[in-house]
A = this chain, B = another copy of it.
Amino acid sequence: MTIETALEALAKQFGDRVQTGHSARVLHGGNESYFDEVLPDAVLAPRSTEEVSRIVRICAEHGCPIIPWGVGTSLEGHALALSGGISLDMGEMTKVIEINAEDMDVRVQPGCTREALNTELRATGLFFPVDPGANATLGGMAATRASGTTAVRYGTMRENVMALEVVLADGRIIRTGSRARKSSAGYDLTKLMIGSEGTLGIITELTLRLHGQPEAAASAICAFPDIESAVGAVQTTMQMGVPMARIEFLDAACIRAVNRADNRALPETPHLFMEFHGSEAAVAEQAESVREITAEFGGSAFDWSTDHAERARLWHARHNAYYSVKALRAGCQAVTTDVCVPISRLAEAVTETTADIEASPLLGPILGHVGDGNFHAALLIEPGNSGELAEAKRLAHQMAERALRLGGTVTGEHGVGVGKMKYMTQEHGDAWQVMATLKQALDPQNILNPGKVVAVN
Contacts and interface: CB of A to CB of B under 8 A. Distances in A.
A37 interface: no
Interface string A179-191: 1111111111101
Nearest to A408: B180
A93 to B, nearest CB: 20
B430 A185 contact: no
A372 B151 CA distance: 21
Contacts of A186: 195, 416, 424, 427-428, 432, 435, 453-454
Contact of A434 (B102, B147, B174): B174
Given A174-B430, A185-B409, A192-B187, A180 B341 contact: yes
Nearest to A432: B186
A342 B189 contact: no
Q: Which of A181, A241, A372, A413 lies at the interface centre, i.e. has the most chain B CB atoms within 10 A of its CB?
A: A181
Interface residues of A, number: 87
A374 to B, nearest CB: 6
A187 B438 contact: yes
A412 interface: yes
Q: Which of A144, A146, A186, A200 lies at the interface centre, i.e. has the most chain B CB atoms within 10 A of its CB?
A: A186
Interface string A342-379: 11100000000000000000000000000011100000
A172 interface: yes
B156 A412 contact: no
Nearest to A428: B186
Contacts of A103: 342-344
Interface stretch (A54-62, A277-285, A304-312, A326-334): A277-285
